[in-house]
Amino acid sequence: MTDITCFKAYDIRGRVPDQLNEDVAYRIGRAYAEWLSPKSVVVGYDIRLSSKSLCNALQDGLMDAGVDVASIGQCGTEEIYFATSHLAADGGIVVTASHNPKDYNGMKLVRENSIPISGDTGLNEIKHLAEANSFSKGRRKGILNVVETRLAYIEHLLTYVDRYNIKPLTIVCNAGNGGAGSVIDALEPHMPIEFIKLQHQADGNFPNGVPNPLLVENREVTSSAVLAKGADMGIAWDGDFDRCFFFDEKGRFIEGYYIVGLLAASYLQKNPGASIVHDPRLTWNTIDITRNSGGKAIQCKTGHAFIKECMRREDAIYGGEMSAHHYFRDFYYCDSGMLPWLLIAELMSQQDRPLSALVEERMAAYPASGEINHVVEDPARLLAEIKKHYSAAAEAIDNTDGLSMEFGDWRFNLRMSNTEPVVRLNVEARGNAELMQAKTEELLSLINN
């Protein structure tokens, strides 16, 4: 039995070709089919140089197991979610490594109704089957169908907003040479928006670096363009565009946390009493807005598989993570990087206010550190020591995801990465940026020591 190391908690990711290659991709196709017994599966791939060949091998594995494959070609992750439900397929797989380094690739897997397959819900079983590499003979050879779903996907996106009430806006959009550019091109004829396009062409060589707007060094080009062009806002995406990042008209990067609050308030205005799901890293702003809007705030462990499962269980209308993942009940409880900016553009038009004005008050009410990552030798031991250090003063301690501690006027969350020896710190306060900053530095000092 060969040990396959590219399986992670929520998806598949690894270096090409030593951790993920055509042989492993073929086995994953066979194992997925053996585990799920689907009749039809949607497949697609992102813009990485290795993605098409890996996808071809994956398709071969599925078809050799007797599965009919609907290939939608180069796409974003959310287009697989859309196509799986739109075509009423039994499952879907996208070959993507999102914002990982250039020499990485991976896969995200869903079953019927675009329900995610994670370590808790079948991914580990698929891993074991792929490692064993002993598959029953397919009852027949599956059929490959090339299917066009982009037009239907664009039409679906446009149902979320009243495009005729969106005012003419100038928007800087930075695809980071990932897959978002072609979707913007398809949306453009339907919108009264002038797009200023940066790093627009898909290029798996990543000539401007890996598309990851969470990296501070990647933000300057978008911020500068917003100011230079006098744009109404800026948007940037990661490679498979399932995350969407915002810059206001001042060129200022807006933490995803405040966009979650903005979208929660907007949805609750249209759907009084609905449930909103949020992650534990930064919470107070979302909870405050949700409760004041008559909704129900539900905390869930970080990670797309957990959020989607919680949203289905609670029938939540919207879910948001401060890492810029936004989930929508009407989008099969899945995350989309296109819907958030459409909804924010509509909100700016309805209220006739710039993005800065929509978030300024909330940013002042709940100043936050943004996520700070630190490499440590023993993350579990560090969390235990931090908990011991603050326990006497804590008013509340929560272990939903890592360690969350509240102290009346400030709180923090410290969690371990699922994939590397890193801890991720988030700190927020009630209306006191100086306190937030001081406590952030205090925690970083403890972490460093």
Please tell me whether residue 121 adopts helix, strand or coil conformation. helix
Strands 396-398 and 403-406: antiparallel
Has 114 been annotated as catalytic? no
CA distances from 292 to 30, 228, 258, 295 (A): 50, 38, 16, 7
CA distances from 166 to 170, 343, 351 (A): 12, 10, 11
CA distances from 254 to 109, 173, 214, 219 (A): 30, 15, 11, 11
The secondary structure element, H or E, covering residue 396 is: strand 396-398
Bridge partners of 276, per DSSP, are 297, 318
Strands 325-328 and 334-335: antiparallel
Residue of 40, 50, 71, 98 with catalytic role: 98
Q: What is the DSSP string of 192-257?
A: SEEEEEES-S--TT-TT----TTSGGGTHHHHHHHHHHT-SEEEEE-TT--SEEEE-TTSPEEPHH
Interhelix angle 256-270/284-292, rounded to 10 degrees, is 10
Q: Where are the beta strands (DSSP E) in 87-225?
A: 91-95, 104-111, 144-146, 169-174, 193-198
Structure tokens given for 438: 């001081």
The secondary structure element, H or E, covering residue 351 is: helix 339-351
Non-local CB neighbours of 159 within 8 Å, separated by 6+ positions: none
Torsion region of 408: left, alpha or beta (phi above 0 gives left; psi -120 to 50 gives alpha): left
What is the Cα–Cα distance from 240 to 237, expressed in whole angstroms?
8
Non-local CB neighbours of 384 within 8 Å, separated by 6+ positions: none
Longest distance between any two alpha carbons in the chain, whole Å: 66
Q: Is the peptide bond before 17 cis (omega within 30 degrees of 0)?
A: yes
- 259 touches 370 (CB < 8 A): no
Catalytic residues: 98
